[in-house]
Structure 1
Amino acid sequence: MCLVFVCDEDDTVLSRQPAPGACPFCGGLVQVVDIERQWRFCFFPLYWKTKRQFYCSLCNRHLVVPNQ
């Protein structure tokens, strides 16, 4: 008996925008990146979610912004 799982996770960048402020590590510009994450099982989408992440454009670090 052979059991095969065909799962796939796909990340798509929807948009990039400049954000106010500077990177605390290098002082570079901060970018807001909207990413859509989609999980599929046998080419059928099971789950998708859009996330907003912050990155430095100079050192390419992922920046964490605390919720207010």
Structure 2
Amino acid sequence: MCLASEEKELGRQQASGACPYCGGNVEALDVESKRMFCFIPICFIVKRKYICTLCAKRLVLNS
């Protein structure tokens, strides 16, 4: 099988709040994910991920 996935960073922006682990600033990162089967694109997904700029941990929002 020739399954592949690529992630490309679309942009970064400052998010409100602080990291609960180290107190650093939080950035919102927009990522485009592309999944391919035998070099044919199957789906495109745009996600927003939150990361700490100081400790580089990925943060999850609980609402």
Higher strand share: 2
Q: 1:51 aligns with which of 41, 47, 51?
A: 47
Determine the structure 1 residue equivalent to 2:26: 30
**Is the radius of gyration larger for structure 1 or structure 2?**
1
User: Number of aligned pairs?
Assistant: 63
- TM-score norm. by structure 1 comes to 0.87
- TM-score norm. by structure 2 comes to 0.93
Gaps in structure 1 of 5+ consecutive residues: none
CA distance in 2, matches of 1:21, 1:47: 32
Question: What RMSD in Å do the two structures reach over aligned CA positions?
Answer: 0.8
Gaps in structure 2 of 5+ consecutive residues: none
Which portions of structure 1, spanning 4 or more consecutive aligned residues, are displaced by more than 4 angstroms? Answer: none
- Tell me if 1:17 matches 2:46: no
